Amino acid sequence: MTDDRLLTGKRRKEDQDQSLRPQLLSQVIGQERVVENLKILVSAAKARKEPLDHILFYGPPGIGKTTLSTVMGKEMGVNVRPTAGPAIERAGDLAAILTHLREGDILFIDEIHRLGKAVGEILYPAMEDFVLDIVVGKGPAAKNVRLNLPRFTVIGATTRLALLSSALRSRFGAIYRLDFYSLEAMNLIVKRAAEMLRIPTDEGGASEIASRARGTPRIALRLLKRVRDFAQVRGDGTITRPIADEALDLLNVDHLGLDDIDRRVLISIIEKGGGPIGLETIAAAISEESDTIMDVCEPYLIQLGFLDRTPRGRTVTRKAYDHLKIPYNGRDDQTSTEQNPLF
């Protein structure tokens, strides 16, 4: 896998553009239903002069989970302490973080599905009763000590709701799914970012980028920056539709936003008769990480109606054959009737 792939779900250095992040709920574009709910949470908590309830956001990478968490911190006027499931290795690591929180602070835990079991056991009572049970000393002299914690808020983010234990899920007062953005919202996001980064962009250029960014703000921002380079080198610096079109073709991002890896996923299944085939088999066939396929490719391919997930594996639909211009092999309806959750 090359490191300059556009459609990776992982954060990269080029994404660290804090200035592009909306600061307040009123500046958040799209996700209207979630934003409405969050406004109510904020108003209610402020009126009661209480910290926010624990919140869980789930959805594909780059969709705004971290952004909304920082926005919640700004709305409440509290600090947001960011961390991530894999970064908290031992129970002691979490205890150290918790004891440094102040009343009302937000602890943002990204990839919360990757928290270890021992860490979870410390987190549950902390979330529920704001206490920390620790063992002091060793051997026969060891004592259980209970510390009171300030009332804080956990905001968890995950791409895989299904991997969260029901014990952890039940600790969250509010759980929100973030969906892919509409084309209209994507257009606004591209235009706003172009304005803030002072990249001359016309309507056609912005809408070309928006329509190929697979409903994901992080991808839209990456595409915008790559197209800016192209516009500087091959054009007069302005992003127009023909410039965006040419640049994105060169980047191998097609008009629906599919890149090489999406196409290879589909083709690997088609080569095996259209499926059903298992995730691990696909990952091995195309030498990609199964996490990338599951988190980044599949949700979008499913949303496009190109891929189905069935208990026996993944199948490709006729729509995908048509998109790839591969003759459909005449099978009867491959579309499964079984509904499976995305995450």
Binding residues (CB under 6 A) for ligand ADP: these are 15, 20-22, 28-31, 61-67, 157, 189, 217-218, 221
Specify the length of the chain in residues.
343
Measured from the CB atom, the residue of 8 and 317 that comes closer to ligand ADP is: 8
Give me the least distance between CB of 321 and ligand ADP, in Å please.
31
Q: Is 315 a catalytic residue?
A: no
Single out the catalytic residue among 5, 8, 105, 110.
110
Measured from the CB atom, the residue of 8 and 315 that comes closer to ligand ADP is: 8
Single out the catalytic residue among 5, 65, 214, 222.
65
Three-state DSSP state, 159? coil
Q: Which residue has the tokens 């300030």?
A: 150
User: Which sign does the torsion angle of CA 213, 59, 155, 100 carry?
Assistant: negative
Taking a C-beta distance cutoff of 8 angstroms, is the pair 147, 134 a contact?
Answer: yes
Give me the least distance between CB of 65 and ligand ADP, in Å please.
3
Please count the helices (runs of H) and the strands (runs of E) in the chain: 14, 9
Measured from the CB atom, the residue of 275 and 299 that comes closer to ligand ADP is: 299
Nearest to 126 by CA among 90, 99, 144: 99
Taking a C-beta distance cutoff of 8 angstroms, is the pair 267, 325 a contact?
Answer: no
The radius of gyration of the chain from alpha carbons, rounded to an integer in Å, stands at: 23
Return contacts of 130-134, CB within 8 angstroms, 24+ apart: 132/95, 132/98, 132/99, 134/95
Measured from the CB atom, the residue of 158 and 315 that comes closer to ligand ADP is: 158
Give me the least distance between CB of 296 and ligand ADP, in Å please.
11
Give me the least distance between CB of 5 and ligand ADP, in Å please.
16
Taking a C-beta distance cutoff of 8 angstroms, is the pair 274, 334 a contact?
Answer: yes
Give me the least distance between CB of 73 and ligand ADP, in Å please.
13
Q: Is 66 a catalytic residue?
A: yes
Measured from the CB atom, the residue of 29 and 72 that comes closer to ligand ADP is: 29
Give me the least distance between CB of 288 and ligand ADP, in Å please.
19
CA distance 299 to 290: 13
Single out the catalytic residue among 191, 212, 214, 218.
218
Nearest to 59 by CA among 185, 183, 177, 156: 177
Give me the least distance between CB of 220 and ligand ADP, in Å please.
7
Measured from the CB atom, the residue of 156 and 205 that comes closer to ligand ADP is: 156
Q: Which residues sit opposite 277 in a β-bridge?
A: 314
Neighbours of 86 (CB within 10 A): 11
Measured from the CB atom, the residue of 10 and 264 that comes closer to ligand ADP is: 10
**How is the chain split among helix, strand and coil, in percent rounded to 5?**
50, 15, 35
Single out the catalytic residue among 159, 201, 216, 317.
159
- Give residue number: closest CB to ligand ADP: 64
Buried/exposed code over 159-183 (b: 16+ C-beta within 10 A; e: otherwise): bbbeebeeebeebbebebbbbbbee
CA distance 226 to 234: 12
Q: Is 281 a catalytic residue?
A: no
Active centre residues (catalytic): 65-66, 110, 159, 218
